[in-house]
Amino acid sequence: MGPAVGVSLIVMVFSFLTMYLSKAPMMQKFGLTLAIGVACSYVVEFGLMFSSLSLLDKHASTAKLAPKKLSQPSRLSLFLSHYAEWVTHHAGILLTIGVVLAGLGFSFEKSINIETDFTKMIPQNMTALKNTKYLQSKIGSTTYLTYLVEGNGQDIRDQDNLKTIDQVGQKVDHKYHDVTDVTSLSTAYQQTNGSLNTSQKQLTVGVDNLPTSLKQTLISSNHHDATIQFKIRNGLSSKEQLKLMNRINHDIKGIHHGLKISPAGAQVMMLLGINNMSANHDLIIIAGLSIIFIVLFLIYRDWRLALYPVIPILLVLGLSPLTLKLLGISYNPVTIALSSLVLGIGTEFTILILERYREELQRGISTRDAIVSATTSVGQAITVSGFTVMGGFSAIMFSSFPVLKSFGLITVLDTGYSLICALTILPAVIYLLRKRKPAATQSSSEQATERDD
């Protein structure tokens, strides 16, 4: 098992490192952490496992080590044997079904929202959250897109500057129905002192006399910078907010009478951060699958053996968003990175079966018998491993945090799909792409097997 696990380790490390293609530093460090983690696990498992076995068996009596009657195959082993036989007889149909479902999943993936509203990621029974929802029911949305107004050394309190800020705010407010209100130094002055068409001295005094708590959010202490806040209607998704922000950016792009206006603030950073996390999502998947193929091709020197593990993993990557779409579940900052975990988990399952298949094939048996033998033996190990992982992550589904619930659910689903595809799609692909000997060189028994196939 050492070489097989070693091969899967190499592939997993490189596939995790493809997360450095992400624009988000958090994703890059997450990929590095995964790569270091699996490498350390490999070393520790071999070191501690064999040393523990050696210590535990050191004082075992010779009677206990005496040969015993071989036990009968387990029920799981018998099931996997029959299942592998069934898969090889229906390989084409099963692969077609998998491709169609995965294709639907990939087509739906772009329409799945990425949740950025923290109020939906925390326990819904929190007192603070209930108070926030009550406040929103009374005053409406509490979400703002903030823009920084840089005076470039000018005094923002200047009449022309205040009028420019007011014009920009009114333009955006009138153009977009998703913007429900505008808060700026100009609007604050007009609400307390009246029109902007007054003397410069009155404007300066009026701005200086605004409440301190209000001035701190609207103008800098040196009077060279200010902010404009656009209130967004409730229920606007993160994708819609990002689109709105990009449209506003286009409308106010450039310098307005010496003032530079650009997006800033916590909500803006959140939207840009989420966008960066998902920006190269497709590129990471393509790079990960390509690396799996290239590494396996360099190891096996056979394009078929390099391609076999890629197809099941690709189908899992399509089945996951399909399930999310059907369940109405959104991605969030935690679950958006799970595609890289699929590459790792799926690679391990498929390569372990593939390595055992190669061993069986080298014994000279038929392709079908090698598939059945590999699935029966290694299939037991990865089935137990898969269910263990699913059981562990299913506990997270009972968390009071919705963000962790969805993380646990998606991980369980992806692990389950990886296991199913390793036991179903991989044998089907191997059987369909098997090397066929010319009829003239086959024995009568091999020809009979081909006819049965």
Could you report the per-residue pLDDT of 241-257, keeping only the tens digit for each?
A: 888 999 999 888 766 77
Q: How far apart are CA 414 and CA 417, in angstroms?
A: 5
**pLDDT at residue 70 greater than cutoff 70:** no
Residue 26's pLDDT is 80
Mean pLDDT taken over the chain: 83
Tokens representing 146 are: 């903030």
Candidate from 83-92, 263-272, 372-381 with smallest mean pLDDT:
263-272
Residue 443's pLDDT is 44
Q: How far apart are CA 392 and CA 381, in angstroms?
A: 17
**pLDDT at residue 339 greater than cutoff 50:** yes
Q: How far apart are CA 246 and CA 251, in angstroms?
A: 9
**pLDDT at residue 62 greater than cutoff 80:** no
Whether the Cβ atoms of residue 449 and residue 365 lie closer than 8 Å to each other: no
Just give the CATH number of 2-50+71-117+278-434. Answer: 1.20.1640.10
Residue 429's pLDDT is 92
First to last CA, the chain: 30
Tokens representing 132 are: 């926030």
Half-sphere exposure of 60 (CA within 13 A, CB side): 11
Residue 347's pLDDT is 82
pTM: 0.72
User: Which contacts of 27-32 are long-range, i.e. CB under 8 A and separated by 24 or more positions?
Assistant: 27/277, 27/337, 30/337, 30/340, 31/340
Q: Over range 342-363, report the average pLDDT.
A: 84
Tokens representing 341 are: 């975990």
Q: Over range 373-389, report the average pLDDT.
A: 88
**pLDDT at residue 324 greater than cutoff 80:** yes
% helix / strand / coil in the chain, to the nearest 5?
Answer: 70, 5, 25
**pLDDT at residue 337 greater than cutoff 70:** no
Residue 72's pLDDT is 66
Residue 315's pLDDT is 92
Residue 17's pLDDT is 87
The widest CA-to-CA distance across the chain, in whole angstroms, is: 106
Sorted by where each begins, the domain ranges of the chain are 2-50+71-117+278-434, 123-274
Residue 441's pLDDT is 47
Q: How far apart are CA 430 and CA 437, in angstroms?
A: 15
Tell which phi-psi region holds residue 49, choosing left (phi > 0), alpha (psi between -120 and 50) or beta: alpha
Burial class (CB in 10 A: 0-12, 13-18, 19+), 208: exposed
**pLDDT at residue 122 greater than cutoff 80:** no
Helices H / strands E in the chain, number of each: 19, 5
Strands of 34-156, DSSP E: 143-150
Most confident of 93-97, 287-291, 433-437: 93-97
Strand order through the sheet with 255-256: 179-184, 225-232, 143-150, 259-264, 255-256
